[in-house]
Amino acid sequence: MRKRIPDDFKSGFVAIIGKPNVGKSTLLNRIMGEKLSIVSPRPQTTRHSIKGIYTSEKEQIVFLDTPGFVEARYELHHNMINAIESSLIDADLIIFMTDNHFPTDYDERVVAIVMKRVKVPKIAVINKDDLFDDEYKEATKNKLLEAGFDRVVTMSALNDEELSDFISDVTAFLPYSPPYYDKDNLSDMPVKFFAQEIIREQIFHMFREEIPYSSTVTIESFKEFDNKVEISANIWLERKSQKIILIGEKGSKIKEIRQASEKGIYELTGKRVKLELWVKIKQDWRKKSNALKEFGY
Ligand SMILES: Nc1nc2c(ncn2[C@@H]2O[C@H](COP(=O)(O)OP(=O)(O)OP(=O)(O)O)[C@@H](O)[C@H]2O)c(=O)[nH]1
Ligand SMILES: [Mg+2]
């Protein structure tokens, strides 16, 4: 029989926004205890809004990890900005995250947008507290309170110990409401999507400069059996010259991508993984709206 939902149960949607590379996806993954959103040392890693559904006995928080705010240099960026803006519309609470470099131009623009457009409560998180001192902390905290945030917290998203306090801070701002999702759901995306993101993450980790940004991944076939998963995926690049770099000498790089991805997908599914990767070119795909649609952006 289904357990009764207590009257004081709280739930709501919480959008996590902020400039690229501050640790938004790292925080989401820590809270969920699962790698839902890919993380890399390079900015603009996240491209879609990724939902993480945190459920306990007392609350359900639907976190939305968003792409870092970006200059719209490519059609792809317009789609990323749309993903951020639509996450603001449905949110019951906004978490604005910054780091040890506040304020940058990006920070200022995001804060201005949030204060102008968002009426719901707003928490500011100063992340990466391993990289700043008390003086920076106090000064930044004051600036954020002055800007209009309802609460300012400092943390390191790499540190699990601070998470339960953070969850309480968030829940305090949420409305009383029954949960929106079944407690067993961690996200609303299929396993196939996470497999695709895991492959994309390896490319972010292995290459510098333009290759990560010029690449995207599509899953062409995904067969899940009781004890194994068979996947065929395409890695799309923008130019022929990039293909040689991605494949590497005698296929060494593509092999590394395949092996690391198989490991990641194994950790996700608990099943043996056989992955086939194909490298393809779609000239200037980031500028073409029909290509973006085809690639799921
Ligand atoms: N030193 C330190 N590094 C951190 C902390 N939190 C996250 N990082 C690192 O910061 C980098 C960026 O983290 P992400 O979680 O990908 O950042 P993001 O805000 O999601 O970035 P985008 O998706 O590009 O917008 C990674 O290398 C993380 O390991 C922290 O508390 N301290
Ligand atoms: Mg991210």
- Express each pLDDT in 108-162 by its tens digit: 988 988 898 889 999 999 999 999 999 999 999 999 999 999 999 999 999 988 8
Would the pTM count as exceeding 0.85? yes
Q: 53-62, 123-132, 286-295: which range is least confident on average? A: 286-295
For residues 4 and 83, the answer to whether their CB atoms sit within 8 Å is no
Give, using CA atoms, the residue closest to atom 13 of ligand 1. Answer: 23
Domains and CATH numbers, the chain: 10-172 (3.40.50.300), 191-294 (3.30.300.20)
Please report how many Cα atoms fall inside a 13 Å half-sphere around the Cα of residue 101, on the Cβ side. 10
Alpha helices, H only, 33-190? 75-89, 105-117, 134-147, 163-172
pLDDT digits (tens, 9 = 90+) for 162-198: 899 999 999 999 999 999 999 888 888 888 999 999 9
Ligand 1 pocket (Cβ < 6 Å) reads 20-26, 39-41, 43-46, 67-68, 127-128, 130-131, 156-158
Give, using CA atoms, the residue closest to atom 30 of ligand 1. Answer: 128
Give, using CA atoms, the residue closest to atom 12 of ligand 1. Answer: 21
Ligand 1 atom closest to 129 (CA): 31
For residues 140 and 126, the answer to whether their CB atoms sit within 8 Å is yes
Residue 1 confidence (pLDDT) above 60:
no
Three-state secondary-structure class, residue 76: helix
pLDDT digits (tens, 9 = 90+) for 214-242: 999 999 999 999 999 999 999 999 999 99
Residue 70 confidence (pLDDT) above 70:
no
